[in-house]
Amino acid sequence: MIILGIDPGIADTGFGVVEKQGDNYTEIDHGSISTLKSDSLAKRLQELYRELTKLIKKHNPERVAIEQLFFAKNVKTAITVAHARGVVLLAAQTAKCEIAEFTPLQIKQALTGYGAADKRQMQEMTKITLKLKTIPKPDDAADALAIAICCGQTKQYA
């Protein structure tokens, strides 16, 4: 099963593609889709949609796993992340991919067994699970790989 994990953001949207075979995971691709701060919101969202569409066509995932928006102190940031999430959902739905959404707590519990795991613990478990030599970079991509692994480990999607 091919799973595309997405860590949404307006400046940078992390992506991670994994293949699950039984209980084993293999990293296929990871990276970040960046948009220019100088561009309008509409143009940034269009660029995100265009790049996500290419990514979905390239890897043909069975599932697209996305992090749910969590409470943010900065309302402006939360709103722009919500816009990015909407574009991710639209791209996945248009491509007829099954969509799975996970809270940060669910992702942390799936990877570490501990809902309050810190970023370093998450990155280490992602590296170990995927049998990588180094922690994936950038951080948004490492988070996206963790989201994909969470999807693969969640009973209803396994």
Where in the sequence numbering do the catalytic residues fall? Answer: 7, 67, 140
- Exposure b/e, 54-85, CB count within 10 A at least 16 = b: ebbeebebebbbbbebeeeeeeeeeebbebbb
Residue with tokens 């480990």: 153
- Total Cβ atoms within 10 A of residue 113: 9
CA distance 51 to 61: 15
Tell which residue, 151, 48, 53, has the closest CA to residue 96: 53
Q: Residue 80 CA to chain centroid, in angstroms?
A: 16
Residue with tokens 């309008």: 40
Residue 42 is encoded by which pair of tokens? 């509409």
